[in-house]
Amino acid sequence: MSEKDTVLEIIDLHAGYDDVQVLWGVNLKVKRHTLTTIIGANGAGKTTTLKAICGLLKNVTGKVVLNGEDISRIPTHERVDKGLVMVPEGRWLFPEMTVLENLRMGAYPKHARDKREETLEWVYTLFPRLKERANQKAGTLSGGEQQMVAIGRGLMSRPEVLILDEPSLGLAPNLVLDIFKIIQELKEEGLTVLLVEQNVHLGLAISDYAYVMEHGKIVMEGTGQELENDPKVKEAYLGI
Report the phi/psi class of residue 68: left, alpha or beta, with left for phi > 0 and alpha for psi in -120 to 50: left
Q: Which of 34, 37, 47, 207 binds Mg ion (CB under 5 A)?
A: 47
Site for ligand ATP contains 212 (CB under 6 A): no
Please choose, from the candidates 86, 52, 233, 71, the residue with its C-alpha nearest in 3D space to the C-alpha of residue 157: 86
Among 34, 36, 37, 47, binds ligand ATP (CB under 6 A): 47
**42 makes contact with ligand ATP (CB under 6 A):** yes
How many CA atoms, within 13 angstroms, populate the side-chain half-sphere of residue 236? 14
First to last CA, the chain: 33
Binds 44, which of ligand ATP, Mg ion, none (CB < 5 to 8 A, cut-off by type)? Answer: ligand ATP
Q: At what angle do helices 116-126 and 173-188 cross, to 10 degrees?
A: 130
Phi/psi for 105 (5° steps) reads -55, -30
- Closer by beta carbon to Mg ion, 109 or else 154: 154
Angle formed by the axes of helices 143-156 and 116-126, nearest 10°: 150
Binding status of residue 37 toward ligand ATP by CB under 6 A = no
Site for Mg ion in 137-166 (CB under 5 A): none
Note whether 210 binds ligand ATP by CB under 6 A: no
Residue 37, binding choice from Mg ion, ligand ATP, none, Cβ under 5 to 8 Å by partner class: none
Which entry of ligand ATP, Mg ion, none binds 17, CB below 5 to 8 A by partner kind?
ligand ATP
- Can you give the binding site for Mg ion, defined by CB under 5 A? 46-47
- Can you give the binding site for ligand ATP, defined by CB under 6 A? 17, 20, 22, 40, 42-48
